Amino acid sequence: MRVLITGGAGFIGAWVGKALHEHGDDVVIVDDFSTTIYDGRLKEERVRALLPKAKVVRGDMADGNWFWRVTEEIRPEAILHFAAIAGIRYAQKDPFAVIRANVTGTASVFEAVKRVPVKRIVYASTSSVYGRNQKVPFHEDDPIQLPSSLYAATKRECELLAEVYRHTSEVQSIGLRFFTVYGPWGRPDHAIWLFTKAIFDGSPISLYDYGNAARDFTSIHDIVRGVLSVLDRSEVSCTLLNLGNSHPETNGNLVGMLERIIGKKARVLPMPLPKEDVPRTYADVDRAKELYGWEPQVPLEEGLREFVGWYRAYHRI
């Protein structure tokens, strides 16, 4: 089928696009190649490496009329909406840019689909929406009323928009709550990349919550399998789905694993947890298992070895 991927030059979008292309699907990516969070050259290189044959459309997702015209021209059977300004830290710096990209950009997708019918819409949400919830693991039906960051609030707003369009316009979609995705060609602002770079460079690592903050680090390969499972099972009725490793690890233990893999000690600076962070994320993936037959397969240390190997090759270390 023909699949349009917004944010297709991003980490998750490019890997999913690669898998779809290998399955014989026609992949079109929409991306503005923004340099907001990190150097746009990485996005260009990522597309050349993972999606050398995909059609690339460059533009601003928040321009609703422009995206409608793109959708009308391409006539996709499915839209994977992954375009966003991700990252808790940047949202504190420029909240209006994040609101525009995340919320207005998502509204652009739903408005376009009102005019150009699409069989399947899958959009990216995040584990951050669970905010300060104390009950773990996080389940899709848990109440969500205590976001810790503006970024989390924008992604929750995307979920609410999806519900409104489902109710008023019968636009069917499913939101995937991703839990701390990592792997080759990942994001330089994520902990695993930052910690790896710091160990190689001999720079200090800020360990929040004094090394006790825990994240449900999830391999990109597991995420890709999850997205494809959702696309393949269009008959399944589901509006929100966790995709996570369901095995949280503290950032202190993460550093220890990277030290063993790299063969070099880290310089650690224990620090308190920032207000916009949460102490832990932990995915309940029972719904994904029951409805889609999906469960995580890549252990964290195995995934870290793959990432470090890629990082060495990418930086010629």
CA distance 29 to 9: 7
The predicted pLDDT at position 87 comes to 84
What b/e string do you get for 79-98 counting C-beta neighbours within 10 Å, with b at 16 or more?
Answer: bbbbbbbbbbebbeeeeeeb
Residue 56: CB atoms within 10 A of its CB come to: 15
Q: What does the domain layout of the chain look like in residue ranges?
A: 2-183+217-245+281-297
Question: Please, are residues 12 and 32 in contact by the beta-carbon 8 Å criterion?
Answer: no
Contacts for 201 with CB less than 8 Å, ≥ 6 apart: none
The predicted pLDDT at position 80 comes to 98
CA distance 83 to 258: 30
Q: Which residues are catalytic?
A: 151
CA distance 29 to 272: 40
Taking the chain (317 residues) in runs of 10, the rounded mean pLDDT of each run is 97 98 97 92 97 96 97 97 94 95 98 94 98 96 95 98 96 96 97 98 97 98 98 90 98 98 97 95 98 97 98 96
Classify burial at 300, counting beta carbons within 10 Å of its beta carbon; exposed 0-12, middle 13-18, buried 19 or more.
buried
Question: Please, are residues 175 and 144 in contact by the beta-carbon 8 Å criterion?
Answer: no
CA distance 200 to 203: 8
Contacts for 16 with CB less than 8 Å, ≥ 6 apart: 5, 80, 82, 223, 224, 227, 228
Determine whether domain 2-183+217-245+281-297 maps to CATH 3.40.50.720: yes
Helix axes 191-201, 251-262, angle to 10 degrees: 50
Model confidence pLDDT, tens digit, residues 264-295: 999 999 999 999 999 999 999 999 999 999 99
The predicted pLDDT at position 24 comes to 96
Tell if the pTM clears 0.95, that is, is over it: yes
